[in-house]
Structure 1
Amino acid sequence: MDSKIVFPGDFLTTAEEFVAGKNTYEDISGRIYAATVGNAQFDLGKREVSVDKNGRELELLEVGSIIEGVVIMLKPQAAIIEIYAAEKDGRKLNIQQSIGAVPISLVSRGYVTTMDTKFRIGDLVRAKVEVITAYSVDSSTADAELGVIRAYCTKCRDAMGLFDSQLKCINCGNVEQRKFSTLYTLKY
């Protein structure tokens, strides 16, 4: 096995030569890069490249992970989310300045006419990762425990409470619709 010190983003090899192992990732064009600081290990027998590091292993976002984030933009066909936390099987995952989307087809099990009846800018959302590509992370809020976990009034920006399956502003009394989670934080 060959070894050399690498840093995150360092080019290691191509997918034609080696398979991406621990603490590495492969881009859409088949190039393999280091995901962390450590020693690159090229296993010539298995044709696998990995990065060994002292300490905790880096765990990246993967399909099936549960993410939490803030809605930063609404488009006709998707809610764009800035992801601030992720976990899978009780393990926290490494998230750094990630942006994702909840496409209109993955919001709910039923038909959704417009995104602004399900999400608003500034809402805190809990979603499950369905697809990861080089350019996006598409997530679903169709399950009951997924969706908006904290909403803010569009009139006064105060927090909205959940009163008998209805979101109502605690300050001004405004009533709004959302695709809220069973884990919504302000229940009354």
Structure 2
Amino acid sequence: MSLADLRKDYKQASLSENEVADDPVTQFTRWFEQATQANVPEPNAMSLATAASDGRPSSRIVLIKGVDERGFCWFTDYDSKKGNDIATNPQAALLFHWVELERQVRIEGRVEKLSGQESDAYFHSRPLGSRQSASASAQSQPIENRTALEAKLADVVARYADQPPRPDHWGGYRLVPDRLEFWQGRSSRLHDRIVYTRNADNTWSLSRLQP
């Protein structure tokens, strides 16, 4: 079968501007809970898209670790590719794709660092192995081979045992959204697209987009 012949007709659900929540974070939470209840694999996985100072984009999958009225949070190495992009261009986009529910959520906005206290709290809640790996790895930087990486991990274990501190180069970010789009697949590609746009007074405007 050719790639051009790969297609699926979406028929599971619909989405109306009359049934969504007034607040987009409430609507996101509703859909996220439905994805979890439907046993979608890793419903917390999202694509994070950033752009360097020259405009060159890049994206990768990260895991959301918190959401509330302030925004959407994740944790990573500040010196990674995405961290360097955010430092020079603090705008980003998130994408959740819940294939089993024929849904996508697109989120755009500015990015800010979480406080040291918030990063500490999450870091110390992580499994020991994940904390040790964060201390050992200079994310996105070249290394000679796997053996060298494992040697760095062994050094962290030898120095800190089961109490590795949060590295200065590791912590959290929050995307403060100004635009969220909820996409529900529909038959014959006549999809439902409902978008929320933040106003200057921090209220939200709601509109439907053509598919």
TM-score range, shorter chain: under 0.3
Give the structure with the higher percent strand. 1
Higher relative contact order at CA 8 Å, sep ≥6: structure 1 or structure 2?
A: 2
What TM-score do the two structures reach when normalised by structure 2?
Answer: 0.25
What TM-score do the two structures reach when normalised by structure 1?
Answer: 0.26
